[in-house]
Structure 1
Amino acid sequence: MSETEKKPVSAETPATENGEKKLTNKELKELKKKEKAAKRAAQKEANGITPEQQKKLAEQKRKQQQQAQQQAAAAASASASAVKKQLNQAIIKEERRVPALFGHLETREQRNAASPTISNIVHPDILSLTLKYSNFKVVGSNSRLKNMLLAFKQVIQDYSTPENTTLTRHLTAHLSHQIEYLKTGRPLSVSMGNAIRWLKQEISVISIDTSEQQAKEILCSKIDDFIKEKIELSDRLIVESASRHIADGSTILTYGHSQVLEELFKYCVVEQNKKFNLIVVDSRPLFEGKKLVKNLISTHLDEDNEVDDLASVNSKTFIKTSIAKDNISIQYALINSVSSTLLDDVDCAFLGAHAMLSNGRLYSRVGTALIAMMCHTRNIPVLTCCESVKFSDKVQLDSVTTNELADSEDLIGNINTMKPVSKKSFALEQFLKQNVQPQQSDKKPVKGGKNDESNDCTDDNENDPLKDWKDIHNLSIINIMYDLTPPEYINKVITELGALPPSSVPVILREYKNT
């Protein structure tokens, strides 16, 4: 065996052919760094900078880097705290106990959490409309749809295309911001979703060569045509078709308020001069049936006479108003007082609709399914008046998967009154909680003054068992807005295309998409 085989060279200390030690990659990098540093130092010495000055400059540079890092961290923390403060102003800091069954539904606080982030780019008309939605000043699928399209029309008129972009691309994104803010007031209805998809489609087909002013005029005219065709003319056709099912001397039952049903009853009384009885069933907390009765009475009578009487009706009675001039007799009853005595004489029931699903189910105000089932057990035909713009291709088997969760306080605050819900704006509520309530607690009540009346009210509130319901750990109050009615409880769905059974909803959907 040779000497080289007896003494192999280790891998850690490799050697060259001359016996010199071979440097590793790490050692080579350090050597190159030292050579570069030596060259810089020699160059600085040649320029008249001593090694001590070089150390001072390096320390100053290191300090400047540390200060810049600290400033960046402080700015990041300040921005994070500002965002947190903004969100805290929009969200009530209290635990909202929602059962697991409805845990996927958004509460009012969760919807408002997104408002501070995009509120600076939202059009004033959208801000105003969102406030009306959240305060229930604008209620009803048709009314919400029409107001939304009119607000979008104003947004388009005030829109100007930024540089280096086109209207067809940027306007769609601009409208998306408005829609996101609109959702913070209330979730979009099915008709609103269909209209938004239609509007974005119309924006996308505008030619790039079209001038901005001309494109805005085209879009505004199309919005006007959509409102006229899909809402106004459709309602007129539905009214003419549904009026054939109302005979002289018949008794009609309806629930809540629907714009198309209000026009139907006015048409039968004014245009066709029919005599019939109308039972309006209503429920808390919105009392939409009061609006229907008020509008029917105030059509041909003075508003000062009998309209104000509705506000004084308590929850245990119903009102009967005879209008001989209009040949109509109206009975107003709450849903908890609907019994066999009221339904014995009913010939037909007309119901409004929030949406019709593709499996033939009716999605409408909570309580509609109860009315439809009660009429079905007594063989009373149930007719639904619904425009094609409210038809949805979704399939839903229960009213839990998709629904709207309103404030629980709406049920508690109006438990002993017949007044509809009256809300303040969300920001105003937070301001009053922080500022007005502490001031009121400092003031002492004055004897013999107005505070005596307020004390009486507080005594009534103290006797309320649900006054401190939030402190009861095992109690949850859920205010659900909609329910689902199976198709077997509906005899006909009256649309602008005619009166069809609920099983024909997919056919109407196909016709709607073709148009």
Structure 2
Amino acid sequence: MSQEQSKLSSKELKELKKKEKAARRQAQKEASGITPEQQQKNLEQKLQETKKTSQTPTNLKKQLNQTLIKNEKKVPHLFGHLETREQRNASSPTISNLVHPSILTLTLKYSNYKIVGSNSRLKNMLLAFKQVIEDYKTPESTTLSRHLTNHLSHQIEYLKTGRPLSVSMGNAIRWLKQEISHISIDINELKAKEILCSKIDDFVKEKIELSDRLIVENASKHISNGSTILTYGHSQVLEELFKYCVLEQDKTFNLIIVDSRPLFEGKKLFRNLVDSDVTNSIRIQYALLNSLNSTLLEDVDVVFLGAHAMLSNGRLYSRVGTALIAMMSHTRNIPVLTCCESIKFSDKVQLDSVTTNELADSEDLINNFNIPPQKKSFALEQFIKQEKGEESINDSPLANWKDLPNLNILNILYDLTPPEYIKKVVTELGSLPPSSVPVILREYKNT
């Protein structure tokens, strides 16, 4: 080491060594005959290769997680692990370039709740996948059975930004990927796409449409003339059940539709029943969940509930408020029946609705446009004017809720119902107790 180098600091020594190393590399490249232009080209090729490898499903998922914006809205610490709508919507631009237009449209409908319900979401997802497969072209130096699975994974990752996947959607995705892996590499691409599209059509017909038909026939045995039925929200299979009992079995009964904020799905059921001209045989009563009392439950003979999923420990995972109705019915010895297709069965075990749930926007509970404007009484207006002044009469008491540090508004979409509150689970395989869910799962996997 020279005397000049000994006087340098450690930082300056490191920089000097870096420059010497770079000079030696440059000299070696010039000696081998590589020009600076060729070096630049090699560098650009390396960047393109790293960009391609970064577009695998796992790396895209990491990019999504890195681009998630911080949640500015207040969420209680107990539910802090759940993603908010803003976090889900913060998708990476690299993914949106790879996404099919039908998936972009479907994701927007999911996030705006234009399509709700497990069956509707599953059916629309499979139809969108069908369009993706029809427009798909296998790149060179690869096969359809290998590349199409990765291509679908990009679509699924973007689909999750609208809303988390339901259990039935997850089961259908696993089935579709398995069918793609069974496609032989010797089959023509056009023929392979036709096979996959026909299998998707068969899956929708068998697992949704025919299953619902069998469930309706099994569940109709529990509805008798003159009985009073209570249901909660909207379920496609329950809507078909009530229509089937009237139009094909000529039954007359009373129906109590219980509904809740913020989606008011019970209004959809009420509207669809009125449009189908079954109100001559069904006497419908509409009530909100917070106004449900013992007088409404006095004459109820049976309760029918829809399902988002049935877990392997026999618990029902459904829209929030379902557990409350099941518990109230159980205390009054009213039988509770759940209509659920086998595609909604999950091998997961869950003991509460905190660990896994879906967190919706808190503003949906406050600024709900489905509620008609309500006329205040004269006495109430005078009281508000006296207490807060005339300018704040029309202000919502929760208009500035974010400015209150100790106020959190939670909008979760699902809850968990214990199996002891459910008498039977009506499936396409028959009416079974909740404890038989693992048996159906085992048979479903075997087939």
Superposition TM-score, scaled by structure 2 size: 0.80
- Tell me if 1:342 matches 2:296: yes
Counting only pairs closer than 5 Å after superposition, residues 20-169 of structure 1 correspond to structure 2 as 95-169=72-146
C-alpha displacement at 1:460, in angstroms?
5.2
Choose 1 or 2 for highest CA Rg.
1
1:239 and 1:260 in contact (8 A); partners too: yes
Counting only pairs closer than 5 Å after superposition, residues 160-239 of structure 1 correspond to structure 2 as 160-239=137-216
What corresponds to 2:330 in structure 1?
A: 376
Does the residue aligned with 2:431 lie in a helix, a strand or coil?
A: strand
C-alpha displacement at 1:110, in angstroms?
1.0
1:248 and 1:274 in contact (8 A); partners too: yes
What corresponds to 2:424 in structure 1?
A: 492
Q: Distance in 2 between matches of 1:196 and 1:417?
A: 37
What corresponds to 1:281 in structure 2?
A: 258
Aligned-pair Cα RMSD in Å: 2.5
Does the residue aligned with 2:97 lie in a helix, a strand or coil?
A: helix
Does the residue aligned with 1:254 lie in a helix, a strand or coil?
A: strand
What corresponds to 1:77 in structure 2?
A: none
What corresponds to 1:423 in structure 2?
A: none
2:71 and 2:84 in contact (8 A); partners too: no
C-alpha displacement at 1:418, in angstroms?
5.1
Q: Distance in 1 between matches of 2:161 and 2:418?
A: 30
Change (3 A) 1:208 1:415: closer
- Tell me if 1:268 matches 2:222: no
Deviations 1:339-394 (A, max 9, x none): 11000000000000000000000000000000000000000000000000000000
2:231 and 2:256 in contact (8 A); partners too: yes
C-alpha displacement at 1:461, in angstroms?
4.6
Instruction: Say which of 318, 331, 356 aligns to 2:285.
Output: 331
Counting only pairs closer than 5 Å after superposition, residues 349-368 of structure 1 correspond to structure 2 as 349-368=303-322
C-alpha displacement at 1:114, in angstroms?
2.4
What corresponds to 2:437 in structure 1?
A: 505
Does the residue aligned with 1:281 lie in a helix, a strand or coil?
A: strand
Counting only pairs closer than 5 Å after superposition, residues 396-435 of structure 1 correspond to structure 2 as 396-414=350-368, 417=371
Q: Distance in 2 between matches of 1:268 and 1:247?
A: 9
Change (3 A) 1:249 1:494: same
What corresponds to 2:270 in structure 1?
A: 293
Q: Distance in 2 between matches of 1:115 and 1:352?
A: 35
Structure 2 unaligned spans of 5+: 1-19, 28-35, 48-62, 374-390
C-alpha displacement at 1:135, in angstroms?
0.3
Q: Distance in 2 between matches of 1:335 and 1:513?
A: 38
Deviations 1:149-179 (A, max 9, x none): 0000000000000001110110000000000
2:70 and 2:87 in contact (8 A); partners too: no
Amino acid of the structure 2 residue aligned with 1:409: E
Q: Distance in 2 between matches of 1:366 and 1:138?
A: 18
Identity %: 80
Change (3 A) 1:381 1:136: same
Structure 1 unaligned spans of 5+: 1-32, 41-60, 73-85, 302-322, 420-457
What corresponds to 1:245 in structure 2?
A: 222
Amino acid of the structure 2 residue aligned with 1:402: T
Does the residue aligned with 2:439 lie in a helix, a strand or coil?
A: helix
Amino acid of the structure 2 residue aligned with 1:185: G
Q: Kindly tell me the number of residue pairs found equivalent between the two proteins.
A: 374
Counting only pairs closer than 5 Å after superposition, residues 459-498 of structure 1 correspond to structure 2 as 461-462=394-395, 464-498=396-430
Change (3 A) 1:352 1:115: farther
Change (3 A) 1:245 1:115: farther
Q: Distance in 2 between matches of 1:459 and 1:271?
A: 55
Deviations 1:108-137 (A, max 9, x none): 111112243310110000000000000000
Deviations 1:285-312 (A, max 9, x none): 00000000000010028xxxxxxxxxxx
Deviations 1:231-255 (A, max 9, x none): 0000000000000000000000000
Could you list the runs of 4 or more consecutive aligned residues of structure 1 that deviate by over 2 angstroms after TM superposition?
90-94, 114-117, 458-462
What corresponds to 2:377 in structure 1?
A: none
Q: Distance in 2 between matches of 1:338 and 1:253?
A: 11
Instruction: Say which of 347, 351, 374 aligns to 1:393.
Output: 347
Deviations 1:226-283 (A, max 9, x none): 0000000000000000000000000000000000000000000000000100000000
What corresponds to 1:435 in structure 2?
A: none
